[in-house]
Amino acid sequence: MRRLGCSVRVALVAVMTFVPDVAFAQTTTSSTSTSTSTTTSTPASTTTTLANPCTGQSCTDEPPGVVLSTPTAQIEADKGSYCWRRPADPTGFCVALAVAPGYKPPILVVTEGELVTVRFTAPVPGNPQQVSFASSGALTPLTATNPTSFRVDLAPGIYESVSLLTRWLQGEVPYAFGLDIRRAATPAVVSDPRPIALTG
């Protein structure tokens, strides 16, 4: 994973609580991230085990990376804090990322209205279940495929706090990046140099 500026990555391992739709529950404080597991009371003669969602599925030990590109530029976005469960461990683990002051995400230079291709890179556990583009509090759902894409419909300027929010069979992963949106060039008007004959 490529990081620009001074960033600090702190891994905090935790046990996650799973519900049928593969979401996870996580409790966060100002400096640490923990999760709590819940159990259901059962007769003494029986035991409760978590079903492994990776059984018979294409699962990976780590979340995929993501590359954003246009015909003229390409960057690799930074992973944010995430929770993930490995094929051999259905309880999963969480990674919390602490970013130092002065950190800036990778910036993709684009033109307003340009199409940006989003490609998830190895290891890739099949297609994502959900992908959304987040900017200025607005969430735009994208087609949940690999690759997918979005069109830049923001005003020209530099945006350092945009992200992709993804949900996979194994967990949820955000990706941080920035956009430097340039104004589209106005086509030049070419005059006809030929003389115009006036009649009448």
For 145-187, write each residue's pLDDT tens digit: 999 999 999 999 999 999 999 999 999 999 999 999 999 987 7
Structural domain including 71 reads 7-182
**Element at 25 (helix H, strand E):** strand 24-25
Residue 90 placed within a domain: yes
Is there a domain that residue 86 lies in? yes
Over the range 126-161, which residues count as b (16 or more CB within 10 Å of their CB) and which as e? Answer: eebeebbbbbeeeeeebeeebebebebebeeeebee
Whether residue 98 is contained in a domain is answered as yes
Lowest-confidence pick of 1-5, 141-145, 177-181: 1-5
> What is the share, in percent, of the chain residues with pLDDT greater than 70?
68
In terms of DSSP bridges, do strands 171-182 and 107-111 run parallel, antiparallel, or are they unpaired? Answer: parallel
pLDDT confidence band for 198 (50 / 70 / 90): low
45 in a structural domain: yes
Distance of CA 134 to CAs 1, 98, 100, 154, 162, Å? 21, 20, 22, 12, 6
Mean pLDDT estimate for the chain: 79
Q: What pLDDT is attached to residue 47? A: 52
Is 122 part of any domain? yes
Does the structure show a pLDDT above 50 at 42? no
pTM above 0.85, yes or no: no
pLDDT bucket at 194, cuts 50 / 70 / 90: low
Does residue 175 form part of some domain? yes
pLDDT for res 18: 34
Question: Could you read off the pLDDT of 44-92 as tens digits, one per residue?
Answer: 545 556 678 788 888 999 999 999 999 999 999 999 999 999 998 888 9
Residue 193 falls inside a structural domain: no
Specify the pLDDT at position 14. 41
How many domains, the chain? 1
**Other Cβ atoms closer than 10 A to 98:** 13
Residue 90 host element (H or E): strand 89-99
Residue 199 domain flag: no
